[in-house]
Homo-oligomer: A and B are copies of this chain.
Amino acid sequence: MRNEFLIPNFSFLTFERKVTMDIIKPRTLSGFMELLPGKQAQFERMLSILRDTYSSYGFAALDTPVIEDAQILLAKGGGETEKQIYRFQKGDSDLALRFDLTVPLAKYVALHCNELAFPFRRYQISKVYRGERAQRGRFREFYQADIDIIGDGKLDILNEAEIPAIIYKVFRGFGLNRFQIRVNNRKILTGFYAMLDLAEKSGDIMRTVDKLDKIGPEKVKAILLDDCGLTDAQADEILRFIAIRGTNADVLAALEGYACRSELFDLGLEELKAVTQNLSAFGVPEENFAVDLTIARGLDYYTGTVYETTLLDHPEIGSVCSGGRYDNLAGYYIDRALPGVGISIGLTRLFYVLDEQGLLNPELPTAPCDALVLPMTADAAPSIAVAEALRSSGLKVQLYGEQKKFKQKMAYADKIGVPFAILMGEDEISAGKCAVKNMRTGEQVLLTPAEAADHIKAALSANNGPIILEK
């Protein structure tokens, strides 16, 4: 409320009535993640990797409103969305908070399609809202980190081939090696079911097959027979198909055996080959990528390549990055074919799970600064000058201004976990130097400000480990 340059005297916060007021117990709503500074620093590192990686592939940053017209967000309507959405009136307006970043993107592209260049590539890393039942590890406010590439009428398969490279760079950026990007193509699945005369039932079948990892083949078969009404032969054929395993080359070779029986299948196979054949050019190692015919993604709007990403040592987390190709982004808002491909990372939940499982690297500094300058003399000017000199060299530096005993100052340095304390006493000042204390080793050296900057930077860069630890 401080910055009110149109009506400078306008005020929400007056503490005039403080004397008579009651104290209200502070709390943060359940289902809302609010981190302490050290944890927030770890979260910020992940945000930074995401921003940098998405940007490096030429995605434009996008920032849409949290609040939208409820009619627009609920254009599809029905189902869980209506129950979970935060919806409210303000004046005559029927408003709601976004529950994902895809619907606002559809609105944005439909609204601005004549001003955008297609393919339009955007990333958005923002909070979304779902009033779900409160439950440990489920969040009502959470970050999604999305990229999408939207074409006008057409979109080349090369865009689908590029997505695994971006996923790979993100998770390598987090410090991981043991993850796998699992890829399939919906045209292959739909074409295959058409071969079995099961085109009508393909949605139900895919949703069932998607549960294979969780419930196993016997239960999948039981559902296919009992709920989907398949014959025993059809169910066996499907189980044989999704049991195809091996290297990417093995799986592609097995798929060739089904070729020439469905145009859609053949097209899907061509697409899958296009996605896999450029992996090495994109720098994605074979071991981080697998064609996996069990992947379908539940959403009916995917029409081509679909993606899931699992941490190999933590399959219980499920897919940490998913998405796929769709043919019609904005059909609710505009009569124009806007096909696209995109992925999403549910960052808040991913962070929560990584933290719960102790996978966040505790060795990385989480202090808000690299160095804490402690003035030991009445005149703070020399300490200020040293702090400014260190900042201009690129370091994050806090000046500690409180009049406290030395022991209390060092206790503060310990508590914030700062890597270096800079002690500025009479002797240091008169020598034009500063005492640089490594808070971890206890080692203390007398250096000029320029030397101190180099000394600190060298130590920090040596401690530049991964954000996520593989155990």
Contacts and interface: CB of A to CB of B under 8 A. Distances in A.
A129 to B, nearest CB: 7
A218 interface: no
B75 A37 contact: no
Interchain residue pairs A-B with the least CB separation, the first 4 = A58-B398, A158-B401, A5-B318, A88-B88
Contact of A117 (B6, B64, B300, B416): B416
A342 B396 CA distance: 19
Contacts of A406: none
Interface stretch (A100-108, A225-233, A255-263, A445-453): A100-108
Copies of this chain present: 2
A284 to B, nearest CB: 10
B397 A57 contact: yes
Contacts of A34: 63-65, 108
B398 A2 contact: no
Contacts of A328: 15, 18
A380 B318 CA distance: 33
A297 interface: yes
A116 to B, nearest CB: 7
Chain A interface size range: 35 or more
A257 to B, nearest CB: 26
A428 interface: no
A322 interface: yes
28 contacts: A1-B99, A2-B102, A2-B146, A2-B323, A2-B324, A3-B319, A5-B317, A5-B318, A5-B320, A5-B346, A10-B80, A11-B300, A14-B76, A21-B332, A23-B334, A25-B333, A26-B334, A27-B111, A29-B65, A29-B68, A29-B93, A37-B62, A37-B116, A57-B397, A58-B372, A86-B90, A119-B401, A282-B388
Interface stretch (A39-47, A185-193, A245-253, A356-364): A39-47
Given A3-B345, A80-B10, A384-B281, A29 B300 contact: no
Given A138-B6, A156-B401, A301-B13, A333 B26 contact: yes
Nearest to A371: B58
B58 A368 contact: yes
A278 B40 contact: no
B319 A8 contact: yes
A291 interface: no
Contacts of A71: 24
A243 interface: no
Contact of A322 (B3, B13, B59, B158): B3
A60 interface: yes
Given A107-B26, A331-B21, A333-B25, A384 B55 contact: no
A321 to B, nearest CB: 7
B299 A67 contact: no
A277 to B, nearest CB: 8
B16 A300 contact: yes
Contacts of A23: 331-335
Interface string A57-87: 1111111111111011001100111000011
Given A21-B332, A72-B26, A86-B88, A399 B158 contact: yes
Interface string A118-141: 011110000101010000001011
A343 interface: yes
A271 to B, nearest CB: 13
A251 to B, nearest CB: 21
Interface string A150-168: 0100111111011001000
Contact of A91 (B27, B65, B131, B382): B131
Nearest to A107: B26
A43 B57 contact: no
A355 to B, nearest CB: 15
Contacts of A95: 29, 86
Interface-central residue, A67, A99, A321, A324, by most chain B CB under 10 Å: A67
A65 B398 contact: no
A194 B64 CA distance: 50
A227 B67 CA distance: 42
